[in-house]
Amino acid sequence: MMFRSFIVLAVLASASAAEVPSFRNTIQPILTRYGCAMGACHGAAAGQGGFRLSLRGFDDEGDWISITRSANGRRLTLEDPARSLFLLKAVKAVPHKGDKRFEVNSPEYKAIADWIAAGAPGPKADDPRIIALEVEPKQLVTKPGLTLPLKVTAKFSDGHSEDVTRWTKYNGVNASVAAVDEQGVVKTTGRGETAISAWYLSRLAVSTIIVPNDGRVDEPAFAQMKPRNFIDEQVLTKLRALNIPPSGRAEDHEFLRRAFLDTIGVLPSLEETRAFLADKSADKRDRLIEALLQRPEFVDYWSHRWSDLLLVNGDKLMPQAMWSYYNWIRRNVAANTPWDMMVRDLLTATGSTLENGAGNFFILNDEPTKCAETISVAFLGTSIACAKCHNHPMEKWTNNEYFAFANMLSRVRTKNGTQADERVLFSSDDGELVQPLTGKPQPPHPLDVTTPVSMTSTEDRRVPLAKWLTGADNKLFQRAIVNRVWANFFGSGLVEAVDDLRVTNPASNEPLFAAACDHLVQHKFDLKVLMRTILQSETYQRSSVTQPENITDLRYGSHYVPRRLKAEVLLDTVSQVTAAPTTFKIDKRNANRGTSESYPMGFRALQLPDSNIASYFLKSFGRADRVATCECERTNEPSMAQALHIANGDTLNQKLAQKDNRLDALLAAKLSNEKIIEEAYLIALTRLPTEREAAKAADMLAKASADDRRTTLEDIFWGLMSSKEFLFNH
């Protein structure tokens, strides 16, 4: 034992002559880079083969103990590092299920051997900490089939920088444009734009690779596009860079239908359609936009949208509370409350949940970590959930930051009120959330804030939280709401998925995204101003008809991308066209006590406060169940169930067969066959039929017997409403 101690002391003395590799800044990146600390290996929750590391090395102290102390320290041989099991398995000198990780005498091998020879020192409090990560080139415009190496540089708190290209983990967003290997060498494979992310010591940097289309689009294709506002300017700049030509302007009937459905979720009436198509004035589109923003249906539509986001759900809330929550949302939409003010009022809500409906947000999110995760997704557009167990693998959020953020919500309390089903929300003077890794409360502070809130203060911590969250300098807050509004009008966000705003998932047009956020802040978070700007842009008013050169573009605004109508909008339009309202019944399997069995006749799907509706149509067409704050809850993807329901399901057929509906009104009006067909097309598709369509449909009516005339008209309406032109917004 004395001889071993003498050897160790001698090794430490000789190692002091050279710089000893840092466990935190040298060994941990190696373990991550070569997969040892990843989820498929020892970074798994249970580890592998009795050896467990934290995922991507987020727990330096714990990993050091696991390597040097667990299994009686048998993984290291300090007097002869080359005999250390820690190295022998990595080079597969002994059997290793994880296969060979690196070669003998490689830089990785030497760094670990030097660390072991120095006595395997652990992480130190005064270790330099990484403060920035940079990747070069930051942006590159290139051609297919070329390769280029990336260079990654880490900057540390003591002022020094290191080339860490070799130790960095890389990931490509779109392999059809470019792929990256483990050494950071990028190979372009196709055309378009992609991002390559570089990860090192919980820091991320992104390189953008642009591969324009072949040839050169004629400048007149761009010159004829007159920008209306900053949206058009930034979109045209992007299209020029990618060499993608824009499509022309949408026809009046296309814009009319599109704007109605995207803004208020209903079709224009027959009279509105005729008036708009007949109007020859130059400003008619602007006047239509202004009218739509003032319509009562606007309140219905956006109340429903924000009810999805804030999870208004009669399965989770008692009836009075659910209505109180929904009506709070409606009042704010109707008053056009600025988004920052609405969110601030929500997050600082106190008192009775029946009188102040916003308080029900905390009834639904009744635990600090759940509440923190919901806030981050709903209002920051990013998920911090991964950081609950370990540092986020695709974002900058650490495990400590997660619990610091959640601890801002640890003093929210509720008690019973004086009325049935009433809860009273208040802030307690004490209560902390313990960080499981340390067993101590994490000093509370918002994300991206280094100064913690005083743990002895009795101030409601939600007040500084809401102030930080809604502040004009909180870019994530701005980006989250801009991305949601943009996705409503264009079918996809500037970042997709809509609530996946992270460094490693860049926007399709970052200058446009930044300009839109600045626009929102300049107008004090007035969402109607943002909507008006979008609707007025030539980008939004562009045709959905593609050109050969832009047919593959789904992100950059060269044309309007058609998408299927949302479940509620589609059901309401079917009811509107047939003039046959839907009766909505409460789903008794989920509904809380005291709820009536159905809503009054005439309620539209977009007016429903609750998601617990027994509707096969809404379920089949992908409504949100409002269980979790995530855009993934709603789906617009087509399915066989949808196709079958349109073809022979009850909804469409029953509404067409219903007495005293639209068809009966048309037949009773004694219109000519041609006039009936014209009105059918205007009502369903917001356009006049082509000559061929009009002649064919009128001929069908003319040949039908008196007894079959209504059935024939049903077939014509069914054909219109089962067409892509009706089912999709274009």
How far is the CA of 523 from the CAs of 288, 298, 494, 528, in angstroms? 22, 20, 20, 10
Six-digit token string for 618: 């809404």
pLDDT for the residue 590: 52
Alpha carbon 507 to its chain's center:
11
Nearest C-alpha neighbor of 153 from the set 183, 133, 129, 182:
133
On whether the CB atoms of residues 722 and 652 are closer than 8 A, the answer is yes
Tell me the range of 168-177, 311-320, 342-351 where mean pLDDT is highest: 342-351
Dihedral sign of CA atoms 595, 600, 605, 606 in order: negative
Burial 8-46 (b: 16+ CB within 10 A, else e): eeebeeebeeeebbbbbbbbbbbbbbbbbbbeebbbeee
pLDDT for the residue 599: 86
Half-sphere exposure of 43 (CA within 13 A, CB side): 22
Q: What is the pLDDT of residues 16-58, one digit of tens each?
A: 445 889 999 999 999 988 988 888 888 887 888 889 888 888 7
- Band (12; pLDDT cuts 50, 70, 90): very low
Mean pLDDT of 385-409: 80
Quote the DSSP letter at residue 195.
Answer: E
- Band (482; pLDDT cuts 50, 70, 90): very high
SS3 412: strand
Six-digit token string for 617: 């149509």
How far is residue 191's CA from residue 194's CA, in Å, rounded to a whole number?
9
SS3 426: strand
* Residue 351: strand pairing partners: 425
pLDDT for the residue 567: 94
Alpha carbon 291 to its chain's center:
30
Q: What element of type H or E holds 141?
A: strand 139-141
Nearest C-alpha neighbor of 101 from the set 184, 38, 150:
38
Phi-psi region of 640 (alpha: psi -120 to 50; beta: other; left: phi over 0): alpha
Burial 110-148 (b: 16+ CB within 10 A, else e): ebbbbbbbbbbbbbeeeebebeebebeeeebebeeeeee
How far is residue 487's CA from residue 632's CA, in Å, rounded to a whole number?
13
**Mean pLDDT, the chain, integer:** 90
How far is the CA of 125 from the CAs of 60, 128, 285, 363, 527, in angstroms? 11, 9, 63, 41, 47
Name, in order, each residue with C-beta under 8 angstroms of 675's C-beta and a sequence gap of 6 or more: none
On whether the CB atoms of residues 264 and 531 are closer than 8 A, the answer is no
pLDDT for the residue 395: 66
On whether the CB atoms of residues 198 and 137 are closer than 8 A, the answer is no
- Band (3; pLDDT cuts 50, 70, 90): very low
Name, in order, each residue with C-beta under 8 angstroms of 436's C-beta and a sequence gap of 6 or more: none
pLDDT for the residue 17: 41
How far is residue 360's CA from residue 350's CA, in Å, rounded to a whole number?
10
State pTM to two decimals.
0.89
SS3 542: strand
How far is residue 517's CA from residue 530's CA, in Å, rounded to a whole number?
9
* Residue 210: strand pairing partners: 141, 193
pLDDT for the residue 596: 55
Q: What is the pLDDT of residues 582-629, one digit of tens each?
A: 989 877 655 554 445 778 888 999 999 988 888 899 999 999 988 888
Amino acid at 299: V
Q: What element of type H or E holds 39?
A: none
Six-digit token string for 470: 């809604």
Beta strands in 559-635 (DSSP E): 563-564
